[in-house]
Structure 1
């Protein structure tokens, strides 16, 4: 292994590693290769230099070697958990709850690491959905028994030999030396034979919640926006009415929307306080059940506008009878909410509804592949706005006297703030997971078409367009005869820099370790086959939250998914399992029963499986029962709804 920080080469030592940390805590990535001077890469690295103060929780680890390795001796991901593993990633921070815990990694070797790599590059990519912990020390280890291409044990770089012997290699800072010595002591205490180590890198992860905490504090400092005008009745249907108004949403993304030519990032003053960037007018839509309001108010579901399309999908996004036919007005989730006594609320997020000022495709404005800073902060802004939006629920009132059938004192409806859920579909599911982690009012979530991980999305997303060919063209891979794979170092840079907007980083804070408030209930509805979020992305979400799989494992029997690991491959790693219906309170967290599951549903043959929550009755019946049982018993139940009818 190469390990020489005195050489003017990014890959003269492993990355990540404390040897790359500057005295001010920032990370030295100035020498990361960009031989074709691609603007996107330059922009990405500029964000990294400015914002990063630690290493990735879910990005790759790269070891440069001075010769080829025996590729057929590389371990598979599950084998990296074995005590005798030749390659492993382990927690070495004695103060962390994951001290001594090994994390599974996919291992790859390439003699030509490509334009963003190095010759003879060994790559370790963590299983997505099993992120490391923030601000925590880790060690990645390669043992000598891995063998080189000639079948010989690996040698040890002189600098590493000095470290293992208790010395101080030239060029290694005192802070980095302290981190390495602490890790080496931990490895020895964990029973690792130091003489077996051929390659080692030690790194402390970033805190991806740092800016989010500051922004959340800002959302609790400012006053929640109020309706700009009285609500207007805009639709009356069999079991619900629709009201609409506007409000002014505070904006913290700087620049000119939709940020296609730059901008779109948050800014903070010298004291770390967020700097506002103005306001934007947003539609505010409310659906009201045509029934008597409970004394506590109507329970409510926030339906996230992002990822839906149309002016008021909460009311209108129902079944498409053909791929090109519109859905019937009044057939949207608001109808399902009303059937079990819930009101619904929808507000325009960034680049949606009235805030889509250029009227371009919202999907591509949110996932702005040309502007990594805007892509990251589009998601973060969307989630933080919902944290603020929910703060207004305690005083929210709406006059619904024009809606026949509603019974409420003086025709005024309010919200039962003890029963507020959040529903996110597609991009909205990304936003929902982050918002739910940050806003304790969101005690329950319904996730549809959900997925996580920038690495997996850039490789496997097929719709709305295949992303991999686009990324390969941007990176000029075609001319080099290269194919983009999860082991590409640049993908790990993307993952690292975008982590604070990746829901998998927030997953453990929904059920197991809530940051704010009580554990949350989660129902994830996965379509088979969902080409927007195939199993690599969907599994990332399920694993990161720690969901049990309820009902049939359709991903195991669907031939179109044979190239991917089914969810069951990794369930036991996170302490999850496959359960039969019905499921209720399958998790006991902090003495509280929590329902947290994923259910898989076959597509309807018309729309992609991504849209199954709108196209088929079974998932609708499932989330209705989830809501109704939560309201009636305090713990949601997930039922077998196959064969259900409207």
Structure 2
């Protein structure tokens, strides 16, 4: 079985195939059909034209998913495909793509992700966008070839995807080329198909091929400038990426510019309890905007759930609600309030938690109060007494496999919740009156706000942190990226991996062996979930922040064993890929070797006794991925709660972030 930890690691050699000038007999051709109508591309013929491709767009400019393979006629897949009609104007920056051939290829001629950066690579993914800051640059690309026909695979399919940890830039045009150096399994050469020969200008072009030639001429010119001659191309896919972050960012900007500042509701604030290191206050605040249209909680396909925009393309608030909160404040005797107020961490709980999940002797509220930091928690989407929360199970509503429309928007809506929550401190500048505290008025420093999220909260956190600048940085626990990894490896709280094989795809017996990260169904799933997948947001935290934003110091934790097992809720592989995309090196000791480091230009770092500072963003930020042995925890997902040293390091990171925007990672 070609396991999800990757066939591409087996495809380790890049070979020229033959010496210069050597005559090699033809073995086969690429399959590149320039269709007269997109209706010609459906089911078993769907990949006879490359996917993705800018030639696969409807007259309104949106990507056509109609005809995407559903060989078992599964109703749930039918709904997924239908849900994407008219949704995307570009293709996923992270999902696999597919090219077909008439004969098997030699896997040994395919490059590793690092080797794919070379101008002599057999498979190259090149930025061909004249307006891109990376114009002409080769991107890391992973390749996988399957010769056999499968339930969802057509024979002789070359699958490719941006190397894990390196999603493509949004709204950018790329070209995937297979060059003449590729070899068939029998050692023979591969030639372009008749339609592709016409597109490349080798033969006269007419009809659909002429239209394709015109549409792709600009990309071919860019390829020539990048050193790829048309005479060297045997297969080609030209496509423009979608921008999965755009809607979330637009709504965030609308909220901070136009939506009312939140206030604590009159008569709701109270001191709930006193503990050894902190006092706990509870209350409600509002308004909080809901941008998801339809019938809350959007449980089923047809209930809506998409983010709403008006006819002019501006965000459209659907309704407003208020949220309950808990707020822990350090004891004044041990932590006198600074002149500017207490630093504050916004905490986002995991699935099944609530607004008080951070309160307890082993939890975040205690660890941060010991460091003179206040902490605030709210109910996450579909939890507690939020609208629609009583209508279903939180994990099934948030990770909504029944309604792909809502699944795309639940994460962005959750991020907007945190944007409004942060405004309590940065704009409204709430206080706890002396009449409530029983002492002096309690204030909070609007310049010292940070984020901490666990599990579901750790998935929403990167979305918030990427599009908003109210916090200095953050810490993520049990937070991973790439929905395809979760679909293949997640087993708790629901055995998602098992359900995907049987219920969703209808694979039987040995057919399950065909499922891997490059599978056509994984490409569809990734395309659907992109707007809520952290993989597209984490590069914006350090490597390419929004205009005017500072890079954010970040820390991640992972519960893992040497064999890569450990976290049943957020697969370690997804956590590691997210760290690579964010640019976080693993701290030593490294418990599990991260495969993606082979092409990531990241090396493990040893944190000195005085801590590690300025290792990111050219010295402007700090951060690491901290691995902890999962066997020492109830499940690797909960290492920060089960291993005191893990919680201490995470809390220490946040303490140092409050003291210095650049951050400092304490020694473990």
Which residue is equivalent to 1:587?
616
Which residue is equivalent to 2:428?
395
Aligned 8 A contact 2:262 2:428 in 1: no
Kindly state the Cα deviation for residue 506 of structure 1 after the two structures are TM-superposed: 1.2
- State the distance in 2 between where 1:173 and 1:115 align: 34
State the 4+ residue runs in structure 1 displaced beyond 6 angstroms.
none
Structure 2 residue matching 1:154: 3-state secondary structure: strand
Q: Does 1:309 align with 2:350?
A: no
1:461-495: per-residue Cα shift (whole Å, max 9, x none)?
Answer: 23223322101121111278233211111211211
Kindly state the Cα deviation for residue 502 of structure 1 after the two structures are TM-superposed: 1.0
- State the distance in 2 between where 1:440 and 1:344 align: 18
Which residue is equivalent to 1:236?
274
Which residue is equivalent to 1:321?
none
- State the distance in 2 between where 1:608 and 1:629 align: 28
1:175-233: per-residue Cα shift (whole Å, max 9, x none)?
Answer: x6455222222222222243221101111111223322331233121113322333111
Structure 2 residue matching 1:124: 3-state secondary structure: strand
Matching of residues 39-78 of structure 1 within 5 Å = 39-78=75-114
Kindly state the Cα deviation for residue 612 of structure 1 after the two structures are TM-superposed: 0.7
- State the distance in 2 between where 1:42 and 1:260 align: 17
Which residue is equivalent to 2:55?
19
Which residue is equivalent to 1:320?
none
Aligned 8 A contact 2:136 2:225 in 1: no
Aligned 8 A contact 1:163 1:169 in 2: no
- State the distance in 2 between where 1:488 and 1:588 align: 35
- State the distance in 2 between where 1:446 and 1:173 align: 53
Matching of residues 550-629 of structure 1 within 5 Å = 550-556=587-593, 565-566=594-595, 568-572=597-601, 578-581=605-608, 582-589=611-618, 593-603=620-630, 605-629=632-656
Which residue is equivalent to 2:216?
180
Q: Supply the RMSD in Å over aligned alpha carbons.
A: 2.4
Structure 1 residue matching 2:293: 3-state secondary structure: coil
Which residue is equivalent to 2:300?
261
Which residue is equivalent to 2:505?
475
1:117-161: per-residue Cα shift (whole Å, max 9, x none)?
Answer: 433211112222200011111111112332223321001111211
Is 35-44 or 437-446 further displaced after alignment?
Answer: 35-44
Is 628-637 or 138-147 further displaced after alignment?
Answer: 628-637
Structure 1 residue matching 2:405: 3-state secondary structure: helix
Which residue is equivalent to 1:324?
none
- State the distance in 2 between where 1:403 and 1:569 align: 56
Matching of residues 240-255 of structure 1 within 5 Å = 240-248=278-286, 249-255=288-294
How many equivalent residue pairs? 611
Cα pair distance change 1:498/1:413, threshold 3 Å:
same
Which residue is equivalent to 1:511?
542
Taking structure 1 as the reference length, what is the TM-score of the superposition?
0.89
Kindly state the Cα deviation for residue 576 of structure 1 after the two structures are TM-superposed: 5.7
Kindly state the Cα deviation for residue 108 of structure 1 after the two structures are TM-superposed: 1.9
Kindly state the Cα deviation for residue 618 of structure 1 after the two structures are TM-superposed: 1.0
- State the distance in 2 between where 1:607 and 1:195 align: 58
Structure 2 residue matching 1:31: 3-state secondary structure: coil
Q: Does 1:547 align with 2:578?
A: no
- State the distance in 2 between where 1:400 and 1:339 align: 23
Aligned 8 A contact 1:19 1:172 in 2: no
Q: Does 1:526 align with 2:555?
A: no
- State the distance in 1 between where 2:579 and 2:434 align: 43
Unpaired segments ≥5 residues, structure 1: 317-329, 557-564, 642-646
Match among 313, 327, 340 for residue 371 of structure 2: 340
Is 452-461 or 44-53 further displaced after alignment?
Answer: 44-53
Match among 316, 323, 328 for residue 282 of structure 1: 323
Q: Does 1:156 align with 2:188?
A: no
Taking structure 2 as the reference length, what is the TM-score of the superposition?
0.86
Is 244-253 or 286-295 further displaced after alignment?
Answer: 244-253
Structure 2 residue matching 1:142: 3-state secondary structure: strand
Unpaired segments ≥5 residues, structure 2: 1-29, 561-565
Match among 295, 305, 310 for residue 339 of structure 2: 295
1:376-418: per-residue Cα shift (whole Å, max 9, x none)?
Answer: 21111101111122123232323254787x86xxx32222111
Kindly state the Cα deviation for residue 116 of structure 1 after the two structures are TM-superposed: 4.1
Kindly state the Cα deviation for residue 112 of structure 1 after the two structures are TM-superposed: 4.2
